Structure 1
Amino acid sequence: MSLNDRQRQLLGMLESAGEVKVGGLKEHFGVTEMTIRRDLEKLEQAGYVKRTFGGAILASKDVAIGDRTGVMTDEKQAVGRAAASLVKENEAVFIDGGTTTLYVARYLKAEQNGTVVTNALNIAMELLERRITTVVTGGMALEATSTLVGPGTVEAIGKMAFDRVFLGATGLTAKHGFSNSNLYEAEIKRMAIAQAAEVNVVLDHTKYGAKELFSFAALGEAHRIIADAQPDGELLQACRDQGVEIWVASHHV
């Protein structure tokens, strides 16, 4: 089922907040309440949301990657470009699944002669098209996210050593650190961090303040956050206190 731009944005808001209200959506998008209700009805029919009294909640936290691709595209592209600029010649890099990490892969340069390990099938295809040496972990494929997960994936990553890793996150708070909505993907992220000399988390500003069920790293476990905007207040101070560098990527680079 194809979604229009507003419906994709709606999914992005739900992925970030977990719940939306019709009244707020009506004002945010400048459309009628009936239009929003039809959008939510379509998303419910597609299996993405469950409608509630006055709004909707996410039916499954694993929103299909195809429907996340159109959300915050400019921001994710800028973040991906900035992240890729960190990679130096002959490095071993790990990139996990996600729409923002896909842009990291897209901006890597083949002439740097590095090796990229990934557990994401769509990222592997992107790297192969760019003639970058690619290692794909084994594991069980998750249809919604195009990622490989499970004991086989964890075991494979545990036998590698990375110069730097690039991981996505669905949420970030000062107290709970970096979190993800999928238990199996969180496990992969934890193992990648354990094997990395440098940990980079890439995200857009909608993830600030969001908290998912599965925390995969405390704030101080990341060396750097690469995002399209700085966090506010308490979270910004917590990053400084923990020595986490924040790179703000320009949309116009």
Structure 2
Amino acid sequence: MSLNERQQQLLGLLESSGEVKVAGLKETFGVTEMTIRRDLEKLELAGYVKRTFGGAILASKDIAIGDRTGVMAEEKQAIGKAAAALVRENDAIFIDGGTTTLQVARHLKADMNITVVTNALNIAMELLEKRITTVVTGGMALEATSTLVGPGTLETIGKMAFDRIFLGATGLTAKHGFCNSNMYEAEIKRMAIAQASEVNIVADHTKYGAKELFSFAGITDVRRVISSRLPDEKLMQACKESGLELLIAHDNV
């Protein structure tokens, strides 16, 4: 069953947060409540989601916290490969949780002489298999995203300095910048940005134009977006005016 771009974006939001509400989606996409309900019905028929009162959740926790191979899988792999190519020997980097950031870790070369700090448990396991020096932050574990958040995580990150960081995002707009659907994860992203020399956002093209409640960075706060396609003309112009680099990955992974 093919999905249109809005439905792909909607599924991406579910992958990030584990749950969505019709009222919020209506505002996010600027469509009617009936349109959102039809989208959710289609996603449910396809087996991606389970509708709830007022919204929907992912049909399987494996999609939320495991190795998600569904929507935008090839694009995310290409983005991860392009992002990993930016890492240099002796770098100290931070990678936060998410399906696209996981692909960054997967495409790092084994035995690289780098140090990676992460608040994502699945990313830490990936790096250990590659024999890469890995520091895991403390904090409270979120089941839906397999990430560690909270005061302990913020304190750990606040005492570090990163050559470059790689963060996921739920959406990007010219007005609100980069956003995330989870308040606690947005805090982590803000702290990591404050400690970084170079900020990279990895996000497939369905994140363009999407917005969530918690903005964690303006366009001028980020050095580079690594994505699968260029945004529309208006957003691309805003990126150009702010000096935000757009690195487009190709899916020949």
Unaligned runs of 5+ in 1: 27-32
Q: Tell me: CA distance 1:158–1:233, structure 2 relative to 1, closer, same or farther (3 Å).
A: same
Q: 1-side partners of 2:97 and 2:115: how far apart?
A: 17
Instruction: Please show how residues 1-253 of structure 1 align to structure 2 within 5 Å.
Output: 13-16=10-13, 18=25, 21=35, 25=39, 36=42, 39=45, 43-44=49-50, 49-50=51-52, 57-58=55-56, 64-66=64-66, 68-253=68-253
* Larger CA Rg, structure 1 vs 2: 1
Does the aligned pair in 1 maintain the 2:173–2:208 contact within 8 Å? yes
Change (3 A) 1:112 1:59: closer
Secondary structure at 1:184 match in 2: helix
CA offsets 1:39-72 (integer angstroms, 9 cap, x no match): 289833xxxx4366xxxx4459x98233854220
Once the 2 structures are TM-superposed, how far is the Cα of residue 147 of structure 1 from its aligned partner?
A: 0.1
Q: CA deviation at 1:233?
A: 1.4
Counterpart Cα distance in 1 of 2:83 and 2:235: 21
Unpaired segments ≥5 residues, structure 2: 14-23, 27-33
**CA distance in structure 1 between the partners assigned to 2:171 and 2:48 by the alignment:** 26
CA distance in 1, matches of 2:35, 2:46: 10
- Mapped to 2, the partners of 1:151 and 1:23 lie a distance apart of 37
Q: What TM-score do you get using the length of structure 1 for normalisation?
A: 0.82
- RMSD of aligned C-alpha atoms? 3.0
Is 1:110–1:131's contact at 8 Å kept on the other side of the alignment?
yes
Task: Give the residue type in structure 2 aligned to 1:192.
Answer: A
Task: Note if contact 1:200-1:222 (Cα within 8 Å) is conserved in structure 2.
Answer: yes
Secondary structure of 2:88 counterpart = coil
Alignment size in residue pairs: 231
Report Cα offsets for 1:152-189 as digits up to 9, x if no partner.
00000000000000000001000000000000000000
- Counterpart secondary structure, 2:186: helix
> What is the TM-score of this pair, normalised by structure 2?
0.82
User: 2:9–2:207: 8 Å Cα contact kept in structure 1?
Assistant: no
Rounded to whole Å, the distance in 1 between the matches of 2:2 and 2:232 is 28
Alignment-derived partner of residue 30 in structure 1: none
Shift of residue 252, structure 1, vs aligned partner? 1.5
Return 13-22 or 125-134, whichever deviates more: 13-22
TM-superposed deviation, 1:14: 3.9
**Secondary structure in structure 2 of the residue aligned to 1:78:** helix
